[in-house]
Structures are given as structure tokens and as C-alpha cells.
Amino acid sequence: MRRACFPILLLLMSILTPVYAQDPTDDQVKANFLLNFSKFIDWPSDAFATPDAPFVLGILGIDPFGKYIDDLVSKEEIANRTIVVRRYNNLQDVLECQILYINQPWKTEEVLSVLKGKSILSVSDDPGFAKAGGIIQFYNDSSAVKLEINGLAAKEAKMSISSKLLRIAKIAETDTAR
């Protein structure tokens, strides 16, 4: 009986879990994280052009998320703003975002210098991103996506990160870190 149960259970699970056919991929996790960042971080009011300007989640470089992230943000809003996902190929266009996910092939230093002083949450997978001044860096630790946050960079970007978030993340040590 027991031996038969397991395959049946799998079968059931596959039928009963409509949205996620399997465990979420790292990308999906990251997408979720990107969205969730908005909840744990406060942007200054001047980060938005108008009060009803949307909350922009930008993707610079290769979009690993696809439709997934669009679906994700469509269900939510942040501080009464709708959330949109925009993909950029131009560095100059990114200044309207609140969150920017930087991916290949863009270079970290290049992007960060543009973003300097701007209230944009920079997120990347690039190792050393946080050290370089990026605010949040994704890294993998035993197949779990982990975060590394550069608090100073956040401060410079005039964003306050909730301690809750900081707590669960690794704090990056920068040269100018406190």
C-alpha cells in the first residue's frame, strides 16, 4: 500500500498544484524577492514624479523572469501605486525605476555610477555587487537564494531598509562601510 501511495501522491500533487508545477526556480524566487523588496524598503517621496506614478520595477539586461514577474506584480500594488515591470536596454532610461535589476551584459560599475545618488534600489546577481556599492546582491547558499545588502549604499540612495530585511541578509562590508 505504502509503495503505491507515493506515486499517487505525486500525481495528486501535480494535479492539485496548478500554478507551480514544480518547486519555484531561482528566478522565480528572485522575482518574488524583487517584489517583496518594495515592502521592506521606503523610497523618499521625491523618488516619484507624480503621486500616481507607478512603481517601476526595471530590468536592465537579460530578463530571466519573463512573464512570471509581470503576473506577479500585476496582483499587487505598493502604497497605492500600481507596479509595472519595465525592461531597459538604455542606461539612461533606468532613472525612472524604483527597483532596478541589473543583469548581463551590463557592467556593475557602469550602472552604479549612473545610479549614484538616485533613489533606485539596485539589485544584481553579480558577485561583489554589494561590495561595489550595489544595494542588494543575490547569492546562492546551499541552493537557497540569499541576500547581501550594502546598507551604506542604501543610505546614499536615500532609501531606508527595514531592519527586518537587514536582519535576514548578509551585510556587505565595503571600504567605506561603517
Partner 1 sequence: MTRKSSIQQKLMKVIMLTSGIVLFMTCLAFFVYEYITARQLLKRQVMTLGEIVAANSSAALAFDSHPDAAEILNALAAESNIKAAALYDNDGNLFAKYPAEISPFFLPKHPGRLGYYYNDSHLEGFHEVKQGNTQMGSLFLRSDLRVIYQRFILYGVIASLFIIISFIFAWFISKRLQKTISMPILELAETATVVSEEKNYSVRARNRSNDEVGVLTKAFNHMLTRIEIQNAEITELNQNLEMKVKERTQQLELAFDALKQQTAFTERILDSSVDIIAVFDTELRFVTMNRLGEETYNLTRDQLIGRYLEEVFPQTRQSGMIEDLSRALNGEFVRHVDYISGVTKRHYENFYIPLEDKDGKVYRILTIAHDISDIMTANEKLQTVNTELEKSNGELEQFAYVASHDLQEPLRKIQTFSELGERNINNEEVLRKYLVKINSSAQRMTDLIKAVLNYSRLSKADTEFLEVDLNSVLHSTKVDLELLIQEKNAVINYGTLPAIYGIPLQLHQLFFNLITNSLKFNENTPVVDIATRVVDGNDVDDETMIVKGRKYLLITLADNGIGFDQKFSEKVFSIFQRLHSDKSIQGTGIGLAICKKIVENHQGIISVKSELRKGTTFSIYLPLLHLRTD
Residues that bind partner 1 (CB under 8 A): 20, 29, 32-33, 36, 39-40, 76, 78-79, 144-147, 162, 164-165, 167-169
Closer of 25 and 113 to partner 1 (Cβ): 25
Annotate 79-138 with DSSP letters as a single string.
TTEEEEEEEESSTGGGGG-SEEEE-TTS-HHHHHHHHTTSS-EEEE--TTHHHHT-SEEE
DSSP 45: G
**Least separation in angstroms between CB 123 and partner 1:** 12
Task: Look up residue 113 and give its three cell numbers.
Answer: 555610477
Task: Look up residue 161 and give its three cell numbers.
Answer: 531598509
Q: What is the maximum alpha-carbon separation in the chain?
A: 64
Task: Look up residue 38 and give its three cell numbers.
Answer: 518594495
Residues whose CB is less than 8 angstroms from the CB of residue 120 and which lie 6 or more positions away in sequence, other chains included: 47, 94, 95, 97, 98, 99, 100, 157
Closer of 14 and 162 to partner 1 (Cβ): 162
Task: Look up residue 115 and give its three cell numbers.
Answer: 545610479
Closer of 94 and 136 to partner 1 (Cβ): 136
**Least separation in angstroms between CB 36 and partner 1:** 4
Closer of 102 and 169 to partner 1 (Cβ): 169
**Least separation in angstroms between CB 176 and partner 1:** 25
**Least separation in angstroms between CB 24 and partner 1:** 9
**Least separation in angstroms between CB 58 and partner 1:** 20
Task: Look up residue 157 and give its three cell numbers.
Answer: 540612495
- Report the half-sphere exposure of 85 (CA within 13 A, side-chain side): 21
Closer of 33 and 68 to partner 1 (Cβ): 33
